[in-house]
Structure 1
């Protein structure tokens, strides 16, 4: 009898495992590779454009093409994630985009390169909505801001490390084709690893103990008051402002990802090695900004600040800060100062990673993938529009000042959409 009591006490005292954070760390690794593959075209564009004879307008089309299929599949992809589960979708998606990234090395002209970019968009489409679904399945409400930014921060680290790595590979191998091929093979290997490691249900993971499972399933005291949900329906009044804010944010984010390297090379006179270093600094600052936002959001909530207030505060600071940065940039003459200002701007811009905590917070139960798909569809449309718009503005004006002013307008859209999101039903307890 005493032995049973000792055993029971030991079980009650068992420390919770931390498998959920290992899962999100692995998803962050996938987002690192995701953005490295996605931005490889931007980094390689000066060499690719020279070899294939591409005009600025055609470069804009190629930089945009990824988002044509990526945006188209966001909503059906989110629906599929809710029905099949995120883990299998993530593994299959990773394998497939590795195949298309590898195929790009064989492109002989702008058209064949265009086809590989469309295929890459198809394959990468489900990753972030699936990550949003994992956020709802694997994390307690009071942990979801951290989970969202750990997942999404990988994209900025991918832009930083991936941009620098692709630039280095092109320089070292003297071939953008070999660089693309190496990136594709690495991605395929991670797809097989995802198939082995990820699970939809924490209880089905062999590494999760009872104490961690209890933490995952513990409700937040504020959750019932802050859902902003209407039965099982996806409420337009919730989703529409999320889409508007995400659209404005994505125009800036993907504007920097697609045209940032060309801006550094053409407007600031950086060579390939200096461009790779500057890209690392800028998007590395974005990585730190995303993590700062997530940990700060959860800390503020722990101190009693409502989640809706916390998120609106941090996201509004993000939008106003990026607006100021883009307006100031044309008035900076020295290249190093411009890189520092872009880094500070991207630090604040990447507070937008907090958006990936919204599907788990505001979607009806079981619809997190669908709501994440709607939100990311809006961001993907921004990804379609901004490379072409920036290319046309640049071709019309011959300078980047008008492009940067356009990005400032996108920051205003980001702020307006964020402020309009209803984080609580009227009359809800406060």
Structure 2
């Protein structure tokens, strides 16, 4: 029995036929893109200011890695809790509260805090940002039927990359001109500005008539709303959820390395000047944005021509991870030069496409009443990579010197290969939607 969540939207869907709903859908999506930009600008501050922070606070590479890992201490747990809350509380207010808390968390370091304040503020920031990505995706995707979710889902994820693309040169300039503490003040102000805009223009689709009629790709109020929703245990044991989570985990491992250690790797490991390293970091995230939009275009094109999600989503995402694994494997053996930049962009840039694939895949086969929780728990699992990767890389650098960077990149290649294999072999939304159907 097919899941009603896969039933195609019709021309009567308000999100498709009402100009007001279309306008609101894209306004919300645009605001959430900026939301994710601010989110990852917050995360990137420590990596961009790594050298002056380590110098001023007297931190070893291991200590700096542990300080970054503190961000993820509550990140995963709060990500799962936030996703579950999004199934019960209006996401609009969750998003507003998160943005305000992000800004408050930056204040201690902007005002002169030391190591204790740094660790404490990163823990608070991680707790507030943990639910950001799943709640933002859940909020945006509710406005669109499944066959139209690839672009908004990709755009939300592109906000991640754009946040670093703009933050890398912008915050680097601020750090050099005004000192590293001013970067914390800058992202705090950005968070407050976004919160003000969201309070005026933001909206969610949770209780609207369109949600029950199909904007979340439901067939009607007599379908999913009147049938029992599957338990989270059943959802989390599907091969599709497991495969999407493993693939996304390898992507998030790379995200953590990009935010925390890639600037230092380029400067200390490969010998690039600081400004060049910042430009290359921005380049990585620009490539990731292109990969995300390219994935959305290819996936949408395949779906419109009748391809299954197993082909259109799983294969596209899995292959991007495998290509990234090859890029990282080559990068670990390369020295400074133009070819190294190509390997860097392939290894750290292309894998970002899997984050959007994982989200839209889960949104496709999980009923709306369980979607926020399923996405939140997936995010909680994958972001444990952010807890482990910075600390492990710091340990490798302290114990092995420059060779530690090479071994960290080689480990990343192995994880990407595992994630790509899992995505290609395990993900099949149609099969698991049928198994979850009442």
TM-score class, shorter-chain normalisation, is 0.7 to 0.9
Q: CA deviation at 1:85?
A: 1.9
Q: CA deviation at 1:134?
A: 1.5
Q: Give the whole-Å Cα distance in 2 for the aligned partners of 1:70 and 1:340.
A: 32
Q: Map residues 169-180 of structure 1 onto 2, 5 A cutoff.
A: 169-173=174-178, 175-180=179-184
2:40 paired with 1:35: yes
**Aligned residue number for residue 8 of structure 1:** none
For the pair 1:334 / 2:340, whether they are aligned, the reply is: no
Count of aligned positions? 405
Following superposition, the deviation at residue 107 of structure 1 comes to 4.5
- Structure 2 CA distance for aligned equivalents of residues 290 and 397 of structure 1: 35
Secondary structure at 2:237 match in 1: helix
Of the candidates 369, 372, 389, which is equivalent to residue 375 of structure 2?
372
Partner of 1:7 in structure 2? none
Provide the secondary structure at the position in 2 that maps to 1:83.
Answer: coil
Residue of structure 2 aligned with 1:233, choices 221, 231, 234: 231
Task: Give the TM-score taking structure 1 as reference length.
Answer: 0.87
Q: How many Å apart are 1:259 and its aligned residue?
A: 0.8
Counterpart-to-counterpart distance in 1, 2:434 and 2:97 = 41
CA distance in 2, matches of 1:230, 1:424: 19
CA displacement at 1:117 relative to structure 2: 0.5
Structure 2 unaligned regions, length at least 5: 1-15
Q: Contact between 1:42 and 1:261, CA under 8 Å: does it hold in 2?
A: yes
Task: Kindly indicate whether the alpha-carbon contact (under 8 Å) linking 1:132 and 1:368 is maintained by their aligned counterparts in 2.
Answer: no
- The 2-side partners of 1:13 and 1:134 are apart by 20
Distance 1:80 1:216, change over 3 A: closer
| RMSD of aligned residue pairs (Cα, Å) | 2.7
Alignment correspondent of 2:431: 425
Q: Measure the CA separation in 2 of the matches of 1:335 and 1:109.
A: 38
Worse-matched range after superposition: 267-276 or 295-304: 267-276
TM-superposed CA distance for 1:142, in Å, is: 0.6
Q: 1:4 maps to which residue? A: none
**Against the structure 1 CA distance between its residues 404 and 372, is the aligned structure 2 distance closer, same or farther, given a 3 Å change threshold?**
same
Q: Per the alignment, do residues 232 and 218 of structure 1 end up closer, same or farther by CA in structure 2, a change over 3 Å counting?
A: closer
Question: What is the CA distance between 1:231 and its match in structure 2?
Answer: 4.4
Tell me how far apart the structure 2 counterparts of residues 138 and 414 of structure 1 sit (CA, whole Å).
30
2:261 match: secondary structure: helix
1:31-430 pair list within 5 angstroms: 31-173=36-178, 175-201=179-205, 216=215, 231-234=229-232, 235=234, 236-238=236-238, 239-352=241-354, 353-398=356-401, 399=403, 400-418=405-423, 419-425=425-431
TM-score, normalised to structure 2's length?
A: 0.86
Deviation by residue 1:192-247 (Cα, 9 ceiling, x = unmatched)? 21122221228869xxxx9x998836669xxx9xxxx9942222322333332222
